[in-house]
Structure 1
Amino acid sequence: MNVSVSDAAAASSEVDTGRPRFARFWAAQTVSQAGQRFGLVALPVVAIDTLHAGASEVGYLTAALTVCYLLIGLPAGAWVDRWSKRTTMIRAAVIRAVVLAAVPALWFFDRLSLGWLYAVAVVVGVASVFFDVAYQSYVPFIVPDEGIERANARLESSAQISAAGGPAAAGLLLKAVSAPVVIAFDAVAYAVCAGLLATVKDSEPSRREKAAGDARLTRDILDGVRFVVGSAVLRRLLVAVGVSNFFATLTMTLTPLLILRTLGLGSTVMGVVLGVGTLGGLLAAFTLPKVRARLDAGRTMTVGLLLAGVSMAAFPAAGSLGGAGGAAAAIPVGLLVLGQFGMTWGAVTFNIAQVSVRQRVCPRNMLARMTASIRFVVWGSMPVAAILAGWLGSRIGVVPCLWIGVVGGFLTALPIIGIDRLIPSAAPAPDSRARDV
């Protein structure tokens, strides 16, 4: 059934998304996000400062983390729909913990190289494919339908708190220890995440119950693709998220080079800028209920995408000021903070709204395949964008390449225009209706 904003607000007092099962899942996600933010700051610093990587090598590193969505994204969705989503997340978290722990170990024994870093990124990327597909398909199994958007907002709020504090803490920690050591914190966080997930109980059917309805893997994959392509709502969201992620990846791939090389601000400033800037995402998570009370889902997503696109212009604007020193350095730093703040505010507003719409219009037995089909296109475009960013950055320069990202960012809102008239007709299947679990 479709749940309007007013209905959701009226039911919010009855929907307890803070029950023990959701609270444990929320805690696991928070710990995982905090550690991941350390890794996102430390990995490019390891490549740039420790291994002396250039723009192309940084692009390859980003591509290594995301290329797995192109290789196994679609079958991962079919597999996760057959497997226990909680068990899948636990195993993926353990794999990431073990592999990331190898980075400081290799560095300690003077064996770390770009080749090893790429290999670690690929393995982490594979594990992330399964974790992320299971993660975005799991919420409807631990909260009723009318609580989905509320639960997603809470999950996103903790993700943004981690995004705000993690890079800043990592930047400060980088002053005391080497970047490979900081990655060890990421490994520990994933291990803690796995332990917390092991305590969560849900309403998902057992693997044996799912097995009775198993079909050939290829048919399962095609069913998921057909469902996404055949849904006017999901099809538009697919295009919007795909274009948005492509140009956001282009921008964020070059951001470490912009801060460390073009502006010469250092890794500590990079961590603080990214951390403080992402407070915009936290604000988005807290203000979304009020925004949704005034705007339909489609208009909320459009506003978010346009805000993100406008804010992206702050990055090349800061880069055009050059490597200013002393008090003059405050101007590019301020622009970077404002840009990151606005970009994440808009992006998170869009993301919470679009994920919640997707979860409500999709049958539960196809959640993973729907998620994987969308992520195949969305995340599959990211390695292409990362490699293109590295190639363009090394030829036309970092700042001109960032302006290309800004122009592309404004295109992301076009597919969302008019989507509100389509959402009510995208009625979910009977097995996706709310159950008080």
Structure 2
Amino acid sequence: MTTTKSSAAADPSAAADHSKPTAATTGLLTNGLADRLGLLRDREFRLLWTGESVSSLGSSVTTVALPLVAVTVLHAPPLAVSVLAAAAWLPWLIIGLPAGAWVDRGSRRRIMLVADWISMAAFLSVPVVAALGHLTVVQLALVALVAGTAKVFFATAYRAYLPAVVKPAHLLEANAKLQGSEQVANLAGPGVAGLFAQLASALGGLVLDAATFAVSAVCLTRMRTVEEVRPRARRRLRTEIREGLGMVARDSLLRGHTLYGCAANLALTGYQSLLVLFLVRDVGLSAGATGVLIAITSGGGILGATVARGLATRIGSARVVLLGKVGLAPLGLLIPCANRGFGLVLFAVAGVAIVAGVVAGNVVFAGFMQSYVPAELLGRVSTSVQVVNFGAIPLGALVAGALGNAVGVRTALWAMLGIFALSGLILLATPVRRLRDLPSGRLGDASGLNATSDTRQPFPGSA
């Protein structure tokens, strides 16, 4: 704070008083810090955010640590390593839909706790059995399958639990913070796994992952948020699954975004499956340079999560989704142009842009779904969307691999990123193209799935 010379000379004691922070100054500093922390000042959200962030780091470590164990400890062939990745995603296709119904029937927090403890036990079993000399690829596949199954339940319950922890007006900020920390974890996880493998062993990465699930469980145990569970008659599982699918199928916004996610995931998974091969063999980069370049593009996720909330306030939540998932997608076509020199700059800019766009759109749309879908249906609706979205992931890798063999990796990248750019047309065919903001409020109760998206009001505070 500044003071005038005249006031200091007239009252020396005033000068002494002004050498210390005044109540107004302290208040401004406190408010500035509070604005930056936001929801992290809230104990319940802070515990949920801490547990989820640490768990995300562990999961990111596992994507490298588990294959490293297979390769370095068991000397597994490439097919066996690919089976581990498939086993982690397979549960979404097998139990994704019934998991949503089971989550909606019980306590979401309790389901998350059970999933954490099961995951911790699964990953700890690997170094224990390895120490006894009985580790096999079959066990690694079973661990990936069990952990993947726990992830289905945890991810579904966590999305359904968040609206009970924060107020509807704060869902956008909550999702931005959670997505931001997840992107940081995705960026840091592979490096942490490599460091552990270098300093200790590949098995050390799995011990670290088990520890992260324990941290998540402790955070959840300390939470006091009680969910409001509306009593409802227990019905056949098939009927409850059909309700979740029915809401997605009947609502134009949910249906359109789900179909977009399916097409975009197919294309992006195909692109990512060929990326390392493209940079090393076609562009001629070293392994180290390839890792740095991919890390730079992954940083786009942090950027997208950081700017999503501010952009939604300035230009509208629906427009953020369109800008991120439709407007920036064509930049991906610059990626196959990469070569040594300036082409790498084009690659980095395009990679950062498309990752930032997708993450920013996901942050905004996740908050919309959590405030739009009835609480008693949120688990089923979430898994209905995710089963369609994640079901395209293995298919995208297979399609891209087949194209790479047939026409070359660079041409295959053109095809996959062309599909990604065109996938935005699906969103343009939905009412979102006419909106400034996505609808707020609940779509309807569990028995009324025919509410019309276009008639609802924008988010509070939007123009």
TM-score (normalizing by structure 2): 0.77
Equivalent residue for 1:70? 93
Map 1:4-403 to 2 at 5 A.
18-46=41-69, 51=75, 53-54=77-78, 59-107=82-130, 111-205=134-228, 210=231, 212-258=232-278, 265-266=286-287, 272-306=292-326, 309-310=329-330, 312-313=332-333, 316-318=336-338, 321=339, 337-393=348-404, 397-403=408-414
Work out the CA distance in 2 between the residues paired with 1:260 and 1:194.
Answer: 40
Work out the CA distance in 2 between the residues paired with 1:174 and 1:307.
Answer: 40
Deviation, 1:363, is: 0.7
Deviation, 1:305, is: 1.8
SS at match of 1:67: helix
Instruction: Tell which has more relative contact order, 1 or 2 (C-alpha 8 A, sep 6+).
Output: 1
Work out the CA distance in 2 between the residues paired with 1:270 and 1:101.
Answer: 31
Equivalent residue for 2:442? 428
Contact 1:283 1:345 (8 Å CA) reproduced: yes
Contact 2:329 2:354 (8 Å CA) reproduced: yes
Equivalent residue for 2:424? 413
Contact 1:359 1:367 (8 Å CA) reproduced: yes
Deviation, 1:177, is: 4.1
Question: Aligned pair in 2 of structure 1 residues 62, 259: CA closer, same or farther (>3 Å)?
Answer: farther
Contact 1:43 1:183 (8 Å CA) reproduced: yes
Equivalent residue for 2:29? none
Deviation, 1:26, is: 0.7
Q: How many aligned residue pairs are there?
A: 408
Moved more, 412-421 or 66-75: 412-421
Which residue identity lines up with residue 304 of structure 1 in the other structure? G
Deviation, 1:307, is: 6.1
Moved more, 308-317 or 344-353: 308-317
Moved more, 16-25 or 391-400: 391-400
Work out the CA distance in 2 between the residues paired with 1:109 and 1:387.
Answer: 37
Contact 1:231 1:426 (8 Å CA) reproduced: no
Question: Aligned pair in 2 of structure 1 residues 53, 379: CA closer, same or farther (>3 Å)?
Answer: same
Work out the CA distance in 1 between the residues paired with 2:381 and 2:333.
Answer: 33
SS at match of 1:213: coil
> Any idea what the Cα deviations from partners look like across 1:99-125, whole Å, max 9, x if unmatched?
223344455556555443332222221
TM-score (normalizing by structure 1): 0.81
Sequence identity percentage: 29
Deviation, 1:251, is: 2.3
Contact 1:160 1:278 (8 Å CA) reproduced: yes
Equivalent residue for 2:454? none
Question: Aligned pair in 2 of structure 1 residues 403, 109: CA closer, same or farther (>3 Å)?
Answer: farther
Question: Aligned pair in 2 of structure 1 residues 360, 214: CA closer, same or farther (>3 Å)?
Answer: same
Work out the CA distance in 2 between the residues paired with 1:52 and 1:61.
Answer: 11
Structure 2: give runs of 5+ residues left out of the alignment: 1-34, 447-456
SS at match of 2:199: coil
Question: Aligned pair in 2 of structure 1 residues 100, 338: CA closer, same or farther (>3 Å)?
Answer: farther
Deviation, 1:273, is: 4.1
Calculate the aligned-residue CA RMSD, in Å: 3.3
Moved more, 132-141 or 388-397: 388-397
Deviation, 1:142, is: 0.7
> Any idea what the Cα deviations from partners look like across 1:286-339, whole Å, max 9, x if unmatched?
211232133233321122124663454465445xx5xxxxxx6x8787666545
Work out the CA distance in 2 between the residues paired with 1:398 and 1:176.
Answer: 35
Contact 2:311 2:317 (8 Å CA) reproduced: no
Work out the CA distance in 2 between the residues paired with 1:307 and 1:169.
Answer: 34
SS at match of 1:73: helix
Moved more, 122-131 or 289-298: 289-298
Larger gyration radius, structure 1 or structure 2: 2
Moved more, 223-232 or 387-396: 387-396
Question: Aligned pair in 2 of structure 1 residues 167, 310: CA closer, same or farther (>3 Å)?
Answer: farther
Deviation, 1:77, is: 0.5
Deviation, 1:63, is: 2.4
Question: Aligned pair in 2 of structure 1 residues 174, 258: CA closer, same or farther (>3 Å)?
Answer: farther
Question: Aligned pair in 2 of structure 1 residues 232, 61: CA closer, same or farther (>3 Å)?
Answer: same
Moved more, 91-100 or 109-118: 109-118
Work out the CA distance in 2 between the residues paired with 1:234 and 1:149.
Answer: 17
Which residue identity lines up with residue 286 of structure 2 in the other structure? L
